[in-house]
Amino acid sequence: MSDFHNRKRVKTRKLHKCEGCFEKVPVGTEITKCSGVYEGEFYNHYMCDPCLEWFDKEANEEFIPGEIGEYRKEEERELLAVGHLSTE
């Protein structure tokens, strides 16, 4: 079976959580619904914009659910640290 990936911009009508960071997504939020087949496994989940951006930039194919949020926080901390150093 070949892989395929679908993305659709939707407005949520139920409470969902982002697959990347496990943050709750309130009803009525515009978010990207991702579905498709990856290595023979069907998937169907929602991903918030910052996670999707990270995914496109860094991961591209595989990620562990919930981990993108951790990575993003780490990156933020690093950016803050760099910003802090450069102002001194």
Q: What residues make contact with Zn ion under the rule CB under 5 A?
A: 18, 20-21, 48, 51
Nearest-approach distance from CB 32 to Zn ion, in angstroms: 10
**Residue 21 or 34 with smaller CB distance to Zn ion:** 21
CA–CA separation, 45 and 87 (whole Å) = 41
Residue 20's closest CA among 54, 44, 43?
A: 54
Sign of the alpha-carbon dihedral angle for 37, 5, 61, 63: negative
Nearest-approach distance from CB 49 to Zn ion, in angstroms: 8
Nearest-approach distance from CB 23 to Zn ion, in angstroms: 5
**Residue 37 or 72 with smaller CB distance to Zn ion:** 72
Structure token digits, residue 26: 């309130």
Q: How many residues does the chain have?
A: 88
**Residue 34 or 48 with smaller CB distance to Zn ion:** 48
